[in-house]
Amino acid sequence: MSADDLTEVNKVDSTLMLDTFTGVEIELQVAGVYIRGVARLIDDVIRFLVVSAMSVLLIPTGLVGIGLASVLGFFIWWTYNVLFEVLNNGVTPGKYYMGLRAVNADGTPIGWINSVIRSTLLVVDFLPFGYLIGIVTMALSRTQQRIGDIVAGTIVVYNRSRNTRKSADIRRASPIPDGLNADDQLLFLSFQERLSDLSPERAIELAETLEPLLGKNGQEAVIEVNAIAQGIRIGT
């Protein structure tokens, strides 16, 4: 391990690396308390609205209606999370809107037992008010797990793939230089994709960082980095 790598070890990030059984390493972005809080709020509002609407419709019909509303309300309130999570691949409506997904800690889809456990223990996470125990546990957990997640062995991850934007007009592609490893090549691609976020001056500054290697300055350096990125993209 190089000195750079050793320095990187202590840096703060929320990425979770998982070794799969096939030996492939997958990277998951674990979701934290803020986005999960909003997703939970959405789910709670939906549940509340559905149960309320049903009660308004059923209760005036008499005793049978009250009984039916109670049973259905109980059923919806307690099975909402489980049914969505298991049948919809870990995604409740709130999670869908916020781009999240509940999965097992090894990245596999969540099952019935784990989903029932994490949903049941929401009651514990809610205590004493407003999910305080859940919030504290998530803040203390490296993988942002509330108590229900810890017991069920689940995590909540970001579902969205990163947006990759089309690069600006690329007229030229250069061959991939030798010595560039996969991470280096991703950097060139990232530069190309993010050109629209960078000011022209900053783009030149960044491209000129490679001046010892490229021997180019100014706008020419930007064009050359772009061309190498294009070469990587089309696999020259």
Partner 1 sequence: MQIERLQVVLKPRTMWESADLGTKLAMRWFLPLSLSWVLLALPFLLISFQFDRFVIQLLFLWWFKPLYERAVLMTLSILIFDGRITLGGVLKGFADSRLWFYLTFFRLSWRRSENTPIDALEDLDFNTQSQRRNWLYAGDTRIALIVSLFGLMIEAIIVLAIISLFYFLTQSDFNSAYSGVLKILNINEISKEESIFLLIAVFLAMWVSAIFYVSVGFATYIDRRTIKEGWDLELGFKKIVNRLGVLALGVFLVLPNVDLIARESDAETDAILENVLDAPEFNQTKTITVPEHLSQYFQDMFKVEDDGPTRYRVGIGSTIFAWILKFLLIGALIVALVFFFYKFYATYGIGSSLRTGEKSEPSQTVRIRALPTNLVQTIREDWSNGRIRDALALLYSAAVVYIDKKFSCDILESDTEGECLRKTSTIDTESRDAFQEVTRIWLRLAYGNSKPSDEIFESALLRFEKHIVAP
| Dist CA 17 CA 128 (whole Å) | 33
Residue 52 or 236: the one with the smaller Cβ distance to partner 1 is 236
Q: Does 24 contact partner 1 by CB under 8 A?
A: no
Q: In the bound complex, what is the minimum distance in angstroms from residue 20's beta carbon to partner 1?
A: 12
Alpha-carbon distances of 169 from 182, 195, 236, rounded to whole Å? 24, 11, 18
Task: Look at residues 77, 90, 71 and name the one whose alpha carbon lies nearest to residue 45.
Answer: 77
- Site for partner 1, residues 61 to 120, rule: CB under 8 A: 98, 105-106, 113-114, 117
Cβ contact 36:149 at 8 Å: no
Q: Choose one: 12-20, 57-65, 67-75, 82-90; the region binding partner 1 (CB under 8 A).
A: 12-20
Q: Which amino acid is at 127?
A: L
| String of contacts with partner 1 for each residue 36-65, x by CB under 8 A | -xx---------------------------
154 touches 116 (CB < 8 A):
no
What's the CA dihedral at 145, 47, 95, 142 to 10 degrees? -10
State the minimum distance, in angstroms, from the CB of residue 184 to partner 1. Answer: 5
CB of 54 to partner 1, least distance (A): 26
Tell me, what DSSP letter sits at residue 61?
G
Rounded Cα gap, residues 86 and 56, in angstroms: 29
According to CB under 8 A, which residues from 139 to 158 bind partner 1?
Answer: 139-140, 142-144, 150-153, 158
Q: Rounded CA gap, 14 and 27, in Å?
A: 10
Stretch that binds partner 1, among 16-24, 49-57, 62-70, 86-94 (CB under 8 A): 16-24
CB of 103 to partner 1, least distance (A): 11
Coil, helix or strand at residue 161: coil
71: which 2 tokens?
């049973």
Q: For residues 59 and 214, which CB has a smaller minimum distance to partner 1 in the complex? A: 214
Binding-site residue total for partner 1 (CB under 8 A)?
A: 75
CB of 80 to partner 1, least distance (A): 19
- Which residues, 192 to 211, sit near partner 1 by CB under 8 A? 194, 197-199, 202-203, 205-206, 209-210
What single DSSP character describes residue 109?
A: B
Quote the CA–CA distance of 17 and 26 in Å, as a whole number: 6
Q: Which is nearer to partner 1, 51 or 231 (CB)?
A: 231
Nearer to partner 1 by Cβ, of 4 and 169: the residue is: 4
CB of 19 to partner 1, least distance (A): 7
